[in-house]
Structure 1
Amino acid sequence: MKKILVVLTNYAQYGKRKEATGLWLGEATEFVREVNKAGFDVDYVSPNGGYVPIDPRSIKYASTEDLEMYNSEDFRTFALARSMKANEIKSANYCAIYFTGGHGVMWDFPHNEILHKISLDIFNNEGYLTSVCHGISALLYMKDWNDEWMIKGKHITGFTNSEEILSGKRNRVPFLNENIAKEHGAIFEKKRAYSEYAIQDGQFITGQNPFSPKAVAKILVKNLKKK
């Protein structure tokens, strides 16, 4: 059985600001628990490989289950300390790619050509492109073989403008995901701020915010089990 590729950030701060960020823990742990429960294995990758920083705020809001996984030897080793490098990945081994969030991804996901190529290969092999929260930033700038935005005409969701304002980080991020999604022709869907929401449009499955990774996983599993 093919695996699911979980993409994590290497970025530990808001650009050049001396302010910590990184992976939002629950956006990895909640998704992985759900797909593991359904019998699917995952690999962890980051743009540069190796160390993955955790947004310290996400520890504060982590559930007991999140913290158990965070403290497990497997997660500490293969996700946070020794994540695979993007250029080591063989896309044929994966049925889906999942882009986690946390503000760190806003710097190392959007224009990473290697991650884009992996994603396009998985997509062209009838696999799924999935994301949650700020992870949508990885999808915003992807182009297909015809040099068209892949999200054009697609119903997608991600961290909204209002959620960015409520998070207090509006002036920390290099762009707003909702704005770029619309500029690139996507049909951006959203629900009330910080409420669970995930949608599917063909091979795209996206979640709005940190409360949505489990919902993304459930939709993905449902699709994978049909095959």
Structure 2
Amino acid sequence: MTKALVVLTNHEHFDTLNKTTGLWLSEAVHFSQVMKDNGIEVDYVSPKGGYVPLDPGSIEGDNLDPISADFYFDADFRNRALGASLAPKDITATDYDVIYFAGGHGTVWDFPNNAALGSIAKSIYDNGGVISAVCHGVAGLLSIEENGQKFIQGKNVAGFTNEEEEINGLTHDVPFLTEDELIAAGAHHTKSDPYTKHVVVDGRLVTGQNPQSAAGVGQAVIEILNK
């Protein structure tokens, strides 16, 4: 059976603000819904394992869309993904055909330097699988190395843009700007208008710009798997 591994953040607060953060729920579950619709089993992992915090904004108002609500109010999802996510040590990379780094601001703290997650992702890719990520979750790509270089060097990618971060008012409250960091790692970064869908496919690497792109990333992954 085809399986996907969804990576979630454990980081729950800003360093410079009295403000909580964490996973942006729709970025995980819109992708997971696409997997579910295509008969693909999903497991959830985080850098530390265990509890995964939610960015409170992701379950407020219109952000709690029907798909997000279905997952959020599902006890199995809350327990497996948010309450007791797997740790990297629990993962056997050969069990998975896809890895997907979901976003939320927390990821820019605990994804970029996580060698264990980077190694899992590279193993899945080397076994013919797909690496995918969305929004701030593309920070997880920075942990992947290939032949002593950043895996994304020379590759086409999307990710949360500087303009979108400015709209959030958080430009000076994150460790780095995602767009800048992708470019600094040697990636070819492209973007669309703020908060509009933008998905980039480069071989078996699929990336999306923002929450609006999460389902599109999932759909692009399915197209690759079906080739």
Matched residue SS, 1:98:
strand
TM (norm. structure 2) is 0.97
* Root mean square deviation, CA, Å: 1.0
- CA offsets, 1:56-92, max 9 Å, x none? 0011112022112101011111000010011110000
Unaligned runs of 5+ in 2: none
Counterpart secondary structure, 1:212: helix
Aligned equivalent of 2:54? 54
Q: Match for residue 29 of structure 1?
A: 29
Kept after mapping to 2: 8 A contact 1:15/1:107: no
Match of 2:142 in 1: 140
Please name the residue that 2:114 is paired with: 112
Q: Is the 8 A contact 1:199 1:207 kept in 2?
A: yes
Q: Pairwise mapping of residues 1-227 of structure 1 onto structure 2 (< 5 A)?
A: 1-15=1-15, 17-60=17-60, 61-144=63-146, 146-226=147-227
Alignment-mate amino acid for residue 183 of structure 1: A
Q: How many equivalent pairs are there?
A: 225
C-alpha displacement of 1:19: 1.1
Deviation at 1:16, TM superposition (A): 5.8
Offset of residue 102 of structure 1: 0.3
Checking the alignment, whether the CA contact within 8 Å between 2:117 and 2:143 is kept in structure 1 is: no
Alpha-carbon separation, structure 1, partners of 2:172 and 2:64: 25
Rounded to whole Å, the distance in 1 between the matches of 2:48 and 2:180 is: 27
Inter-partner Cα distance in structure 1 for 2:91 and 2:2: 13
**Residue 211 of structure 1 aligns to a residue in which SS?**
helix
- Unmatched 5+ residue regions in structure 1? none
Q: Which amino acid aligns with 1:18?
A: N
> Could you tell me how far 1:205 is from its partner in structure 2?
0.1
Please report the TM-score for the alignment, with normalisation by the length of structure 1. 0.97
Q: d(CA) in 1 for partners of 2:17 and 2:161?
A: 22
Identity %: 42
